Amino acid sequence: MPIEDFALCRRNKDGRHSHCRECRRAHYQANRGRILAQQKEAYQGEGGERKRAYQRGWRQRNPNASREWFAAHPEYKREWYASNRERVADRSRAESERRRRLLRDAACGCVGTLDCTGASCGYCGAAADGFDHIQPLIRGGRHCVSNLIPACGPCNSAKRDKTLIEFIEDRERRGIRLLCDETLRGPICAGDRAHAQGYGGGA
């Protein structure tokens, strides 16, 4: 069997998985329910919280490490996605559900119906096609007018779960200057302010 049939694996000394792609795909499909249940239990349990806290800390200490590694090994990401299509789809669905839950729990009732028609992206000035949470929901931000900014798709995707300062610094490292600055930070409405205080934020 050709070596290309074995997906890349950073954990193994030879850089490849010990089982071929087809075998691993068949195993996942045959045990999908059990695997997803185990992942959910591990993620939601106490150990999962410790792991997430460690990962957040590591990313903050090493903001460029993953990007630099994948830039140096572009074939790894391509091969992983090609070998794990079902897992990618499952993760995407789980991520969408997680974001919907965060959105529901973080709402303070002041948003109503917002329309970005004709608005410019608050980050780069391009035409906005949606809104972004300045302080990400997963980082304690509220689904609140004071925490929303019109944003274009590329900026929204690039910022993702970064705080505003992290996003500004990331863009600066890439030689991209944003329109926004630190003045966009901070809760404004009462609901947003109370929530921020609950997360150790300022008044």
Q: Which pLDDT tens digit goes with each residue over 168-202?
A: 888 888 888 887 654 444 433 444 444 434 433 33
Cα torsion at 25, 27, 28, 32 (round to 10°)? 150
Q: Is the pLDDT of residue 34 over 80?
A: yes
pLDDT of residue 155: 92
Of 96, 194, 102, 104, the residue nearest 146 (C-alpha): 194
Q: Is the pLDDT of residue 122 over 60?
A: yes
Q: Is the pLDDT of residue 131 over 80?
A: yes
Q: Are 177 and 171 in contact (CB under 8 A)?
A: yes
The residue count of the chain comes to 203
pLDDT of residue 44: 65
pLDDT of residue 152: 92
* pTM exceeds 0.75, yes or no: no
Alpha-carbon distance values, 48 to 88, 109, 139, 195 (Å): 20, 31, 17, 24
Alpha-carbon distance values, 93 to 1, 24, 87, 89, 100 (Å): 34, 21, 10, 6, 11
Q: Is the dihedral of CA 85, 45, 52, 103 positive or negative?
A: positive
Q: Is the pLDDT of residue 126 over 80?
A: yes
Q: Which pLDDT tens digit goes with each residue over 76-120?
A: 777 777 777 888 888 788 777 777 776 776 666 666 666 778 888
DSSP per-residue letters across 141-201? --BSGGGEEEE-HHHHHHHTT--HHHHHHHHHHTT---S--GGG-S--SHHHHHHHHHTT-
The whole-angstrom separation of Cα 65 and Cα 17 is: 23
What tokens does 61 get?
Answer: 């200490």
